[in-house]
Chains A and B, each alone.
Chain A
C-alpha cells in the first residue's frame, strides 16, 4: 500500500513567506499585546493584567485623551467616506466615459499625489496654507475672497477637517483607480441591452453600473477604514506629536506615539503605549469583522 507522502515542497515554498511574516508582523503584534499587560514599578517590569486598560478607559486624565483621539479618528474617517470616496467614484465614472479626451493624462495627474511621501504632502500643504508665506491667502485675494481665509491649521475648529481634506487630496486616486478598473470590466453588451430598454446616461450609471461596482466600493470603504484608523504620518508631519492646536488633531496614532516614545519632558511609557496600540488593533479588528460578516456576505453579486 502506498502511504501518503509528506509533500515537502509545500513546506519549502511556504517557509520564506511564513518566516518573514511571522518575524516582522505576527511576533511584534503579539508582543505588543503582551507588553500591554505589564507595567514598570520601581524599575522592575511587573505583570499587571488589564490595569493599563483600566487606566486608559477610566482614569479621567487618560480617558479624556483617548476618547478625544477616537472621536477625531471617526471624524477623519467620516470625511474620507463622504468626500474622498464619492469624488473617487465620480472621477472614475467620468474617466470611463468613452468620448473623454486626455483620459490617461487626467488619470495620471490625479493619481500622482498618492505616490508622494506624507512628509512632502504635509509640508507642502503647510506652506500653501501658511498665513505668512502661503499662496492660499493671495489666491483667495485675487478672486476677492480674502475674507474667507483663516489660519486653518492653527484653529481648533478647522484643523482636523483641513488635514482630512489634505489627505483626501492625496489619496483620492486610489478609489478612483479601483472603481475605474471595476467599471472597465462591465461588458458593453449589458449597457447596450439597457439602452435597448431605454436606460441611458445617468440612469445607466445608477441602475446598471453602480450595483455592479458595489463590491469594489465595499473594499474601498474597508481600506479607508483601516488606513484612517492607522493614520499617523500626515498629522505628525503637519502638526507634530502634540497634534495641536490643543489636541484638536490628535488621533490614536499620534496619541500612541506620544505615550510610547515620550515627548519633551514627558518620558516614554512603552506599556501604556502598547495598551493604546492594542485598543487600536481591537477597534480595527471589530470594524473589519462587522464589514466581513455583516455586509460583505450579504452583498448581492451579479454574474457578468
Chain B
C-alpha cells in the first residue's frame, strides 16, 4: 500500500511538472549542420532566449548526407520539429508544395532581404516565400600561407599561374599540392566543377541561359571546366581515389597540403584545427584582367513546419532570424556562412573577411545545377558529381561527359529538347 502511494505521488509530480512546461513554447529546429551544434547552444539560442523568455529553443541536427531523407520521413510521420532548416531550391519547394512548410510571405521581416537572396526559397513565380534566408557560402581556394612562403610562390590569379604554383609544389615534394579526394564524389563537383566553372560560363549569364535552353552542356563553356579538372589529378595526393572529405580536411589542417579547394563553410573548422596562417584566393581566371565570377551560393534558410503546435513562437523566432542582430551573431559565430541580410554585417574573422570581399570584385552566381535543373530523373546535380569524378580520374573525356549530361537533362527537361 505504501509503495502505491509513493507511485501515485511521483505520478502527480510528473504531471504537474509537464503542465508547468506546457505554458512555455519549446521550439525544435531540424538541421543538417551538426558541426554547428555548439555554436547554436552557446551563442545563438541563449541570445534569443534572453530576449524572449518563455520560448525555449532546441537545436536538433542530423548528419548532412541523411538530412533530406530523415526530414522527409519525420514530416510524413508528423514528428518533425517546429522549425525546419531549408535546403535551397527544389528540396524545400517540394516540402512547401506538399504542405509541410508554411507560407512566410507575410512576415514583415522578409523585407530585410534582396530578391536574389529570397529566390532560393520561393515558388517559381515568386508569389510565395517559405523560408527566411540565413546564409550563403562562397567557393574559392584556401591555402597554407607558410607553405607558399617556404616554396616562394605567389598567390595565383590566372589559370596558368595556378598550375605553375601546383607544379612548383609538386617539384618540391614537401607538400601535397592540393588536398581533395574523389571518394565522396560531391567534393569534385562542388569544390571542383562549380568552384572554377563560373569563370567559364560567365556566372549568371551561362546559368540562366542553360535554364532557358539557350546553351547546352555540350557547349565549350560547360565542357572546358571538366578538361581543367582532368589536369588536377596529378596534383592530388597518392590514393586520392579513396580519399574522403574528412581525409582532405585533415590533410590540409595538419599542414601536409598546400592548397584546399574550399567552400567558405570550412573556415571555422579550419581556424580551430590548423596552427598555420591561412589565406584564400578566388577561382583563377583564364586571362589576366578577365571579369571574375564566384559561386556565392544561397545555402541555408529556415522555415516553419506547417503542422507546428506553436506557430506564434515559431514566427517570433523567424522574425528574429531575419533581424540584423541575428545576422551579426550568426555571421561572426560561423565565419564562412555569410548573412544574406541587406544590412551589411561587419565580420571580424580575417579569412571570412577576405572571402566576403570578393563579392565587391567579382560577379556572384549560384551553383549551376541547383535551380530547376535537378528536378527530374536523372538528377543533374548527382550526375555532375559522377561526371566531375570521372573527369578527374580520366575515365571519360570531357566531351563524353558533356554529351552524357546533356542527354540526361534533355530526357526530361523541355527547354533542352
Contacts and interface: CB of A to CB of B under 8 A. Distances in A.
A131 B377 CA distance: 34
Given A43-B97, A154-B240, A261 B247 contact: no
Contacts of A62: 377
A267 B243 contact: no
A301 interface: no
Contacts of B90: 265, 267
A234 interface: no
A142 interface: no
A154 B243 contact: yes
Interface string B367-398: 00110001001110110011001100101000
Contact of A244 (B239, B370, B389, B408): B389
B182 A132 contact: no
Interface stretch (B68-76, B141-149, B201-209, B227-235): B68-76
Contact of B241 (A155, A240, A247, A267): A155
Contacts of B251: 132
A263 B183 contact: no
Q: Could you say which of B65, B94, B238, B377 has the most chain A C-beta atoms within 10 Å of its C-beta? A: B377
Contacts of B395: 156, 246
Interface size class of A (residues with CB under 8 A): 20 to 34
A132 B254 CA distance: 12
B338 interface: no
A116 B290 CA distance: 57
A246 B386 contact: yes
Nearest to A246: B386
B272 interface: no
A60 to B, nearest CB: 9
Contact of A154 (B87, B182, B377): B182
A268 B70 CA distance: 11
A245 B182 contact: yes
Interface in B148-178: none
A240 B97 CA distance: 29
Interface in B12-68: 65, 68
A14 B355 CA distance: 68
Interface of A: prevailing SS? loop
Given A264-B381, A265-B369, A266-B382, A151 B389 contact: no
A151 B243 contact: yes
A264 B73 CA distance: 15
B300 to A, nearest CB: 15
Contact of A267 (B94, B183, B393): B94
B371 to A, nearest CB: 10
B329 interface: no
B362 interface: no
A153 interface: yes
B98 interface: yes
A262 to B, nearest CB: 5
Nearest to A240: B65
A275 interface: no
Nearest to B97: A43
Contact of A151 (B239, B370, B374): B239
A70 interface: no
A156 B390 CA distance: 11
B330 interface: no
Interface string A130-163: 1111000100000000000011111110000000
B242 A129 contact: yes
A61 interface: yes
A241 interface: yes
Nearest to B379: A266
A133 B239 CA distance: 11
Nearest to B237: A132
Nearest to B251: A132
A226 to B, nearest CB: 25
B382 A261 contact: no
Given A133-B247, A246-B386, A267-B90, A261 B240 contact: no
A219 interface: no
B88 to A, nearest CB: 9
A131 B185 CA distance: 17
Interface in A232-250: 239-242, 244-247
B69 A263 contact: yes
B184 interface: yes
Interface in B239-276: 239-244, 247, 251
Closest 3 CB pairs of A and B: A131-B239, A154-B241, A154-B242
8 contacts: A130-B243, A132-B239, A240-B184, A247-B386, A262-B69, A264-B65, A265-B90, A267-B91
Given A130-B247, A151-B242, A242-B185, 18 more contacts: A43-B97, A61-B411, A129-B242, A131-B240, A131-B243, A152-B242, A153-B183, A153-B242, A154-B182, A154-B239, A241-B65, A246-B390, A261-B72, A262-B68, A262-B72, A263-B68, A265-B91, A268-B69
